[in-house]
Amino acid sequence: MAIILRLDRVMADRKMSLNELSERVGVSNVNLSKLKTGKVSAIRFSTLEAICSVLNCQPGDILEYVPENIPPQ
Amino acid sequence: MAIILRLDRVMADRKMSLNELSERVGVSNVNLSKLKTGKVSAIRFSTLEAICSVLNCQPGDILEYVPENIPPQ
DNA sequence: TAATTATTTATCGTTTAACGATAAATAATT
DNA sequence: AATTATTTATCGTTAAACGATAAATAATTA
């Protein structure tokens, strides 16, 4: 799980609640909550696009790749 | 279609062919070609993660949001 | 601290579409 | 011309988003 979701960060930055984002994006608050808490393993571009549009941000603000650290032997 | 894929750009930058990327990422060259040419409408994080790992890049290097321009009336 | 609101979790069902496999077509290279 | 690389096309399988609903938890406010 090296792709992590940073939706919470952008939402906090924009001071936007989950319910408001849900209404404006057109995705249920349940599913947005899953996105927000990293409980999804894929994303449709239609959803990503709507989120970026409403939050005025880029995919890179929401999706982050964190390399698995190689544990020292 | 405001989310556009920039995999081709990163691959060119890294001078990596589709077949090599396919082998190293573990996704068929057919499906990687679809990704590369923007013929998919979603992506699994497992795939995105593998691509970012092999190409040593971030999701933001591959996914870009381009706002639909509001045509002047 | 009770009431209200917001967020998260849990099921279930539907539907979308990634992804693999294969074959074939096209493009690029040698 | 031959080889290699990439793209396109079908088909089938499977993963999982997403909706709907209900319930649980968390946070806020009166």
Position with higher pLDDT, A36 vs B68: A36
pLDDT band (50, 70, 90) for residue A73: low
* Amino acid B33 CA to nucleotide C6 C1' distance, rounded Å: 43
Strand D contacted by B34 CB (< 7 A):
yes
Does the CB of B47 fall within 7 Å of any strand C atom?
Answer: yes
pLDDT at A71 over 90: no
Nearest 5°: the CA angle B67, A7, B37 is 45
| Spatial separation of the C-alpha atoms in residues B48 and A25, rounded to whole Å | 23
Per-residue pLDDT, averaged over A25-53, amounts to 93
Q: Cα–Cα distances in Å, from A64 out to A16, A20, B13, B31, B54? A: 21, 24, 20, 22, 15
Q: Where are the beta strands (DSSP E) in A1-73?
A: 3-5, 42-44, 63-65
- Report the pLDDT averaged over residues A44-65: 94
pLDDT tens for residues B9-56?
Answer: 999 999 999 999 999 999 999 999 999 999 999 999 999 999 999 999
**Residue A73 vs residue B27, higher pLDDT:** B27
The pLDDT assigned to B72 comes to 59
Q: Which pLDDT value is given to residue A1?
A: 53
In the stretch 37-66 of chain A, residues with CB closer than 8 A to chain B read 40-46, 48-49, 52-53, 57-61, 63-65
pTM of the model: 0.90
Residue A11 scores a pLDDT above 60:
yes
In chain A, the domains with their CATH numbers are: 3-65 (1.10.260.40)
- What mean pLDDT is predicted for residues A45-72? 89
Specify which residues B43 forms β-bridges with: A43
Contact between B49 and A2 under an 8 Å Cβ cutoff? The reply is: yes
pLDDT at B1: 53
Nearest protein residue to D19's C1' (by CA)? A28
Nearest alpha-carbon partner for A42 in B46, B22, B34, B7: B46
Q: How far is CA A37 from CA A14, A34, B12, B17, in A?
A: 17, 5, 34, 35
